[in-house]
């Protein structure tokens, strides 16, 4: 006599097996990611979210159990769906199909398939599958791994770029609100450059200049492309000196240029490492902007890299990009309450303001700045936790060369500018710059310098030979530039957004623009006779523009520099 199984019993059995499969998938991911040579820093909430996402994959099997129990083979097969999502999560995290990844997937599929087979017949899978995976992952993450000090062949190097961070809103640089207490503490044991200027006002060319030691025009920069693909970089220099080079970036567009990846053994996107496949897919299908990773996530990943992936007892190089202050400004609730009480971040559209829509009232500008301050404080807290974590692991000014700067700043209503892609105001160009470590005597440098000088500075501090065609080391190891230069080639996507916004080309800042500064005089010009100038000593807020003719020598000197500067491809690699 056939045994009749009710839909309710099938649904219950499927739910139990699905829960077991989901739990096993969570711990398999935890174990595999803990063993893999890439950063991984999950919290309890992250593991719960993963479990929930894996459980969602069992819903089709549960629906079949309730509505079509005769398809028992399909139901059993779909119970293994969490492991398919697990494989996609791993593919997303690894970033490319490699032999290592394929090996991991094969092991994953083999273990998962066996575990599911056991789950279909017995609940002993909890002991057979989940507990070993959990213990394996815990052992890999927290068993002692020996000394972490890099004292055998010179110091390790950490380069931190604070994306979209203007020096004008850091308490370290005299801002009226205490936005950066951790950077304040760092400044007391560092050389602080009181006026560092970015060679470009947006991410790709600014990072390229920092990495390569050459200005965007020297690199042949055309938006989203470089003609000089062999310029070399800080990462390639340090790799040749025996330091493995890795990077973790919260800004996803740093992956769009091979030049920016030059020298890195690995350059990971923090979002790729922290956001599972399914939410990323939903964001894509709904055309929804994915939230940028918080600074705390970058710090967690960086410390995990130091703990598990960095070479033991050998020096290394780690590049980190924090992006909290980038628009839209939406700091955590505690920072909103501290810096912007009563302000709803959703009511302040920084992106729309950057496209030329004027704020509805002065109160909106005040709210914009308050939220930006909250983002600065959020990032500062994450950087402080990173520095304390490195110190606990034995890395300090005796064996760690630490550089903290920004790619560019942000305009927050000064002179009616917002964002960083229109005009070249000081709020966009003036960035923080700190250096600490072996051979560095704490103090201040008041001369105007540029972040393009960092590559030569790192080489000098590490005893590497000079290279031709690089911007010189920073003072006190080199000279301040005789002409301070910022170059802003028109950004195609932003130009299109402006045209769509205005419906015609009425924005005066379209096209290519340049800034040149010397002895407190600054010229901003477009090469077509348009521009203005400022006397910064008398007008530090750039409130009183003067005719461009008042700074005509700066324009001529910049044009002469463009004609004569060393720009031979590959000459500085």
Does 55 share its domain with 185? no
pLDDT at 349: 81
The candidate with the shortest Cα–Cα distance to 164, out of 420, 336, 349, 352, is: 420
Does 161 share its domain with 58? no
**Do 235 and 319 meet the contact criterion of CB atoms below 8 Å apart?**
yes
Range of the domain at 388: 156-564
pLDDT at 572: 43
List, in sequence order, every residue forming a beta bridge with 249; answer none if it has no partner.
Answer: 269, 321
Provide CB contacts within 8 A for 499, sequence distance 6+: 505
Rounded Cα gap, residues 303 and 10, in angstroms = 46
Q: What is the 3-state secondary structure (H, E, C) of 343-373?
A: CCHHHCCHHHHHCCCCCCCHHHHHHHHHHHH
**CB crowding 1-21: b at 16 or more within 10 Å, else e:** eeeeeeeeebbeebbebbbbb
Q: What is the pLDDT along the chain (573 residues), one digit of tens a residue?
A: 344 456 677 777 677 777 777 888 888 888 888 888 889 988 888 888 888 888 888 777 666 767 766 566 666 666 777 887 888 888 788 875 555 565 566 566 656 655 555 455 544 554 455 556 556 556 655 554 444 444 556 899 999 999 999 999 999 999 999 999 999 999 999 999 999 999 999 999 999 999 999 999 998 887 777 776 677 899 999 999 999 999 999 998 887 678 888 999 999 999 989 888 888 878 777 766 777 899 999 999 999 999 989 988 889 999 999 999 998 999 999 999 999 999 989 888 887 787 777 787 888 899 999 999 999 999 999 999 999 999 999 899 899 999 999 999 999 988 888 888 888 999 999 999 999 999 899 999 999 999 999 999 999 999 999 998 899 999 999 999 999 999 998 887 777 777 776 655 557 777 889 999 999 999 999 978 889 999 999 999 999 999 999 999 999 999 999 888 865 444 444
Does 413 share its domain with 511? yes
pLDDT at 114: 55
Q: Which of 142, 175, 202 is the last residue of a domain?
A: 142
pLDDT at 487: 95
Residue at 147 is within a domain:
no
pLDDT at 384: 97
Q: pTM to 2 decimals? A: 0.90
Does 186 share its domain with 96? no
Residue at 573 is within a domain:
no
Does 91 share its domain with 166? no
Residue at 313 is within a domain:
yes
Does 108 share its domain with 193? no
Rounded Cα gap, residues 212 and 231, in angstroms = 6
Number of domains making up the chain = 2
Does 217 share its domain with 340? yes
Residue at 570 is within a domain:
no
Does 128 share its domain with 187? no
Rounded Cα gap, residues 249 and 259, in angstroms = 15
Q: Which of 95, 117, 142 is the last residue of a domain?
A: 142
Q: Is 143 exposed, middle or buried (0-12, 13-18, 19+ CB in 10 A)?
A: exposed
Q: Which residue has the tokens 């990462």?
A: 235
- Please state the φ and ψ torsions of residue 553, each to the nearest 5 degrees: -60, -35
pLDDT at 150: 45
Does 136 share its domain with 164? no
Residue at 150 is within a domain:
no
pLDDT at 41: 87
Does 479 share its domain with 421? yes
Does 412 share its domain with 527? yes
Residue at 571 is within a domain:
no
pLDDT at 129: 52
Residue at 149 is within a domain:
no
Q: Which of 142, 171, 189 is the last residue of a domain?
A: 142
pLDDT at 249: 96
Residue at 411 is within a domain:
yes
Does 47 share its domain with 110? yes
pLDDT at 571: 41
Edge-to-edge strand list for the sheet holding 484-488: 484-488, 513-518, 521-525, 531-535, 546-547
Rounded Cα gap, residues 390 and 400, in angstroms = 9
């Amino acid at each position: 006599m056939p045994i009749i199984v009710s839909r309710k019993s099938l649904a219950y059995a499927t739910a139990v097996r699905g829960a077991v499969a989901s739990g096993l998938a969570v711990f398999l991911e935890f174990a595999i990611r803990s063993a893999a040579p890439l950063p991984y820093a999950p919290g309890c909430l992250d593991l719960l979210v993963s479990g929930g996402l894996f459980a969602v994959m069992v819903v089709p099997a549960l629906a079949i159990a309730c509505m079509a129990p005769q398809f028992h083979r399909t139901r059993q097969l779909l119970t293994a769906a969490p492991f398919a999502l697990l494989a996609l999560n791993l593919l997303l995290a690894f970033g490319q199909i490699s032999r290592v990844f394929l090996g991991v997937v094969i092991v994953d599929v083999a273990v998962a398939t066996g575990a599911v087979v056991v789950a279909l017949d017995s609940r002993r899978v909890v002991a057979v599958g989940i507990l070993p995976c959990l213990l394996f992952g815990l052992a890999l993450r927290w068993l002692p791994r020996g000394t972490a000090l890099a004292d055998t062949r010179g110091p390790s190097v950490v380069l931190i770029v604070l994306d979209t961070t203007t020096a004008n809103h850091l308490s370290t640089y005299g801002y009226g609100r205490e936005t950066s207490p951790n950077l304040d503490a760092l400044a007391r044991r560092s050389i602080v450059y009181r006026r560092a200027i970015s060679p470009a006002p947006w991410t790709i060319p600014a990072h390229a200049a920092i990495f390569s030691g050459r200005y965007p025009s020297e690199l042949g920069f055309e938006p989203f492309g470089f003609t000089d693909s062999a310029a070399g970089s800080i990462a390639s220099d340090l790799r040749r000196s025996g330091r493995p080079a890795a990077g973790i970036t919260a800004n996803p567009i740093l992956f769009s240029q091979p030049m920016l990846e030059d020298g890195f053994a690995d350059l990971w996107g923090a979002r790729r490492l922290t956001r599972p496949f399914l939410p990323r897919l939903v964001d894509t299908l709904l055309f929804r902007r994915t939230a940028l990773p918080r600074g705390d996530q970058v710090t967690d990943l960086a410390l995990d890299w130091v703990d598990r992936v960095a070479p033991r007892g050998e020096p290394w190089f780690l590049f980190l990009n924090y992006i909290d202050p980038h628009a839209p400004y939406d700091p955590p609730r505690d920072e909103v309450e501290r810096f912007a009480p009563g302000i709803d971040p959703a009511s302040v559209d920084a992106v729309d303001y950057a496209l030329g829509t004027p704020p509805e009232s002065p109160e909106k500008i005040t709210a914009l700045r308050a939220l930006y301050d909250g983002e600065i404080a959020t990032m500062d807290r994450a950087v402080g936790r990173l520095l304390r974590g490195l110190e606990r692991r034995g890395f300090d000014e005796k064996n760690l060369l630490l550089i903290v700067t920004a790619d560019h700043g942000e305009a927050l209503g000064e002179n009616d500018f917002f964002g960083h892609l229109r005009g070249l105001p000081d709020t966009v160009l003036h960035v923080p710059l700190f250096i600490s470590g072996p051979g560095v005597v704490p103090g201040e440098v008041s001369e105007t310098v540029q972040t393009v000088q960092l590559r030569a500075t790192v080489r000098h501090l590490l005893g590497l030979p000079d290279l031709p065609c690089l911007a010189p080391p920073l003072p006190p190891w080199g000279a301040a530039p005789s002409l301070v230069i910022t170059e802003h080639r028109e950004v195609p996507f932003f130009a299109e957004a402006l045209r769509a916004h205005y419906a015609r080309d009425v924005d005066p800042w379209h096209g290519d623009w340049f800034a040149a500064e010397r002895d407190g005089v600054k010229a901003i010009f477009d090469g077509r006779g348009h521009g203005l100038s400022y006397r910064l000593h008398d007008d530090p807020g750039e409130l009183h523009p003067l005719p461009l003719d008042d700074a005509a020598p700066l324009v001529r000197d910049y044009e002469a520099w463009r004609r004569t500067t060393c720009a031979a491809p590959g000459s500085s690699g």
